[in-house]
Structure 1
């Protein structure tokens, strides 16, 4: 069984989704892979999204590559979150790609807001230098941003998209944005996409993605678990 052929039916409710997540809490990714008859890779060099795909399969995520939340019927996005043994996030969390030729529309029309309105966070406890299969699935957390968090996310998005729309992409730094940042997404410099410069001339550049800062996801975990 592969991750594609092992796909389960979509959960019919939030309760069913949380039950599926609770059923594998405490298990390693290798144990879950064995349940799904999926091979566990020795490393993530060429399998970076393997853990997330494995959990999507188990939970029944149905969106695929469509620009919707992973569970479109429930309006819930799945985000796996590698954390250290003390529960601290180890990296930024990818949200979605940045549209480098943005269509008209504001924050509430954006894919970022669509995906962040309701998120099922699944921590993956990751010991230093441990192989992927030893990552352990933590307790799931169903989260929606508070009014204050939503305001800050909106402010970050609007400031960043103003620069994108003005063709100032090359001047955007990962230091910009309190919760939300823009960073290059491609693994190598050959994966270029179409954009435009500040004079409106077409150009090629690295794809960019929206990411949540580790300090923000740590805040989410601390508020829920402590």
Structure 2
């Protein structure tokens, strides 16, 4: 098992070493079995890469590399470099939303410094054949941070006022709120329209694909200059 990287430089060096490998090749190096498909093992790719890069957070509520304040996000892309799906950030708090500040939010902390790891992962490509791209470090620009904060504040206000049912995927310019549960029986506490406690599906914050597409475009346009 790789140890935790001592610096951001070392983390990026490890990314460079695995860039171009298939997930099957990396799994063989780490002696990890590869599932035939990911329908029942959605988190497998992320877990494999966490292991390869020495992430230590596990399921704790901290960044994946807490010593470096870096969050790891895998990003499935198609052959043209376009993201294939929105990117999960974290669970949304459905109670106690009143009075929360953006700077103290889990979304803000998770996205303060992200190691993006693109994966060529079109649906017809078997998990073992999916190719790891070149990882890169990203911090939101002032304009990106402002968009994230605005969306987060609007969504949190709707949660606080018990208007969960009015939140659709179209809400938010760059950040959206979506159900996050393995099945419809997994309910959690939330606030109803009348301010009383209700049971609701858990929700998660996700980055919209046009936002992550712009991050990729900016990164690789700079890289090719």
Partner of 1:87: 81
- Structure 2: gaps spanning 5 or more residues: none
2:55 is the counterpart of 1:61: yes
Partner of 2:13: 19
What TM-score comes out, normalization by structure 1 length? 0.95
User: Which of the numbers 50, 68, 77 marks the counterpart of 1:74?
Assistant: 68
User: Which of the numbers 207, 217, 223 marks the counterpart of 2:212?
Assistant: 217
Work out the CA distance in 2 between the residues paired with 1:32 and 1:129.
20
Work out the CA distance in 1 between the residues paired with 2:144 and 2:96.
24
Work out the CA distance in 2 between the residues paired with 1:105 and 1:162.
10
- 2:198 match: secondary structure: strand
2:44 is the counterpart of 1:42: no
- 1:181 match: secondary structure: strand
Work out the CA distance in 1 between the residues paired with 2:9 and 2:154.
37
2:117 is the counterpart of 1:119: no
User: Which of the numbers 89, 102, 106 marks the counterpart of 1:107?
Assistant: 102
Q: Is the 8 A contact 2:23 2:130 kept in 1?
A: yes
Work out the CA distance in 1 between the residues paired with 2:7 and 2:96.
33
Partner of 1:3: none
User: Which of the numbers 124, 149, 152 marks the counterpart of 1:154?
Assistant: 149
2:129 is the counterpart of 1:134: yes
Cα RMSD (Å) of the superposition? 1.0
What TM-score comes out, normalization by structure 2 length? 0.95
Work out the CA distance in 1 between the residues paired with 2:59 and 2:26.
23
Work out the CA distance in 1 between the residues paired with 2:48 and 2:174.
27
2:153 is the counterpart of 1:166: no
User: Which of the numbers 78, 92, 97 marks the counterpart of 2:91?
Assistant: 97
Work out the CA distance in 1 between the residues paired with 2:128 and 2:88.
21
User: What is the Cα deviation at residue 129 of structure 1?
Assistant: 1.2
User: Which of the numbers 200, 212, 217 marks the counterpart of 2:195?
Assistant: 200
- 2:122 match: secondary structure: coil
Work out the CA distance in 2 between the residues paired with 1:105 and 1:195.
15
User: What is the Cα deviation at residue 202 of structure 1?
Assistant: 1.6
User: What is the Cα deviation at residue 165 of structure 1?
Assistant: 0.8
Work out the CA distance in 1 between the residues paired with 2:192 and 2:45.
37
- Structure 1: gaps spanning 5 or more residues: 1-5
